[in-house]
Copies of this chain bind each other. A is one copy, B any other.
Amino acid sequence: MATLPPEIECLAWLLGTWRGQGHGGYPSIDDFAYVDETTFDCWGKPFVRYSQRTHLVDGTPSHSETGYLRPRDGGVEGVIGEPIGIAETYAGTLDGHKLELTSTAIVRTPTAKEILGVHRVFELDDDGTLAVLVDMAAVGHPMSFHLAARLERVA
């Protein structure tokens, strides 16, 4: 990894590849369990790339998303794109090893589901695991629990 730009030092705790199990649900779907592999990387530019893939516990590929974060004006802003035709911008706050991101705008392709808001938390716990939480307001439901995962650093 290249030398970390000073702007990214506040996000250094997030860098690396993480893997672990999660569970998901939403008022419109059945609960499900999944395996999440997430990478945050930086190669010398003042931003962090986020790449995520999940599969179901039987190995079936499931979701993926990818985007960028950058510290800005005392907070963190970013974008995330999803293969289902959704792209989001985020504004976030950083409190030590806890990053909270709230969608500020969402655009979608004509065939995408309607997602009106997303709230995400990434938090490094004292035991070194990364807790990931995603709430979502979508398809007519108010902001509700969607995903919770606990990841261990694997690289």
Residues 82 to 123 of chain A near chain B (Cβ within 8 Å): 82-83, 85-91, 104-111
State whether the Cβ of A20 lies closer than 8 Å to any Cβ in chain B.
Answer: no
Instruction: Name the contact of A81 in the complex, choosing from B81, B83, B108 (C-beta under 8 A).
Output: B81
Main SS class of interface, A: strand
Q: Is the CB of B68 within 8 A of A83?
A: yes
List residues of chain B with CB within 8 A of the CB of A88: 87, 107
Size of the chain A interface, CB-CB below 8 angstroms: 39
Known contacts A85-B89, A87-B89; decide if A77 and B110 are in contact (CB<8 Å): yes
Q: Is the CB of A109 within 8 A of B91?
A: yes
State whether the Cβ of A47 lies closer than 8 Å to any Cβ in chain B.
Answer: yes
